[in-house]
């Protein structure tokens, strides 16, 4: 806590000179700001200690099966997940990419690729995205019609089942 000293012996009718007033406010400002900086440090330290205590509690309260196998869960951003040590049975969810991973033994195995398909005007930066489709891009659908013939030069139609059966029967006879 800061120790400040300011003029406190004012008497009615006294004139307050600018130098005294400015000095008083400088002292008040410095004292308050110093307290804020100290308070931020105390708060950050308390958050870290509480996070550690919570993690210790969570480590003791994990999902355990009768076999003795256990699973813990963690979610965080890419940088947070990269900072988490591998722990057998741990499942991780990346809130930035949608990816999931499982720690098995001493390995971290990606189990889900997150946002695999992105439909957007701008190219995605997520490394988990495998397919980017601009919304104005043309996607042609394959033909779904069939023809009842095995002859011809159709490229978007398939022969019907009855045409294929008749063709095979004609070859066998």
Q: What is the pLDDT of residues 117-163, one digit of tens each?
A: 778 888 887 767 778 888 876 566 655 678 888 887 777 778 888 88
In the prediction, which pLDDT does 106 show? 92
User: Quick check: 1 pLDDT over 60?
Assistant: no
Listed by start position, the domains of the chain span 1-61, 66-139, 144-173
DSSP summary character for residue 130: -
How many other β-carbons are positioned within 10 Å of the β-carbon of residue 103?
A: 20
How many other β-carbons are positioned within 10 Å of the β-carbon of residue 49?
A: 10
Task: Quick: pLDDT tens for 56-81.
Answer: 776 655 666 666 677 788 899 989 99
Give the distance from CA 49 to its chain's centroid: 24
For residue 132, list its beta bridge partners. 118
User: Quick check: 105 pLDDT over 70?
Assistant: yes
pLDDT averaged over the chain?
A: 79
In the prediction, which pLDDT does 111 show? 82
In the prediction, which pLDDT does 137 show? 65
In the prediction, which pLDDT does 60 show? 59
More confident residue, 102 or 11: 102
pLDDT (mean) for 5-33: 75
Residues 6+ apart with CB under 8 A from 96: 77, 78, 126
How many helical (H) and strand (E) elements, i.e. helices and strands, does the chain have? 3, 9
3-state secondary structure 28-78: HHHHHHHHHHHHHHHHHHHHHHHHHHHHHHHHHCCEECCCCCEEEEEEECH
Quote the CA–CA distance of 119 and 128 in Å, as a whole number. Answer: 14
User: Quick check: 107 pLDDT over 90?
Assistant: yes
């Amino acid at each position: 806590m800061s120790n400040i000293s300011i003029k406190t012996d004012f008497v009615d009718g006294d004139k307050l000179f600018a130098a005294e007033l400015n000095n008083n406010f400088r002292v008040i400002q410095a004292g308050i700001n110093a307290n804020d900086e100290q308070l931020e440090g105390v708060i950050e330290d308390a958050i870290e200690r509480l996070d550690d205590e919570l993690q210790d509690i969570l480590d003791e309260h994990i999902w355990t099966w009768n076999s003795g196998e256990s699973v813990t869960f963690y979610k965080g951003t890419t940088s947070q997940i990269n900072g988490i040590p591998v722990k057998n049975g741990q499942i991780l969810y990346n809130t930035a990419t949608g990816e999931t991973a499982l720690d098995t033994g001493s390995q971290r195995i990606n189990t889900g690729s997150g946002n695999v398909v992105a439909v957007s005007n701008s190219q995605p930066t997520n490394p988990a995205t495998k397919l980017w489709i601009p919304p104005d891009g043309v996607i042609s659908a394959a033909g779904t019609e069939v023809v009842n013939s095995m002859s011809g030069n159709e490229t978007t139609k398939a022969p019907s089942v009855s045409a294929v059966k008749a063709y095979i029967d004609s070859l066998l006879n």
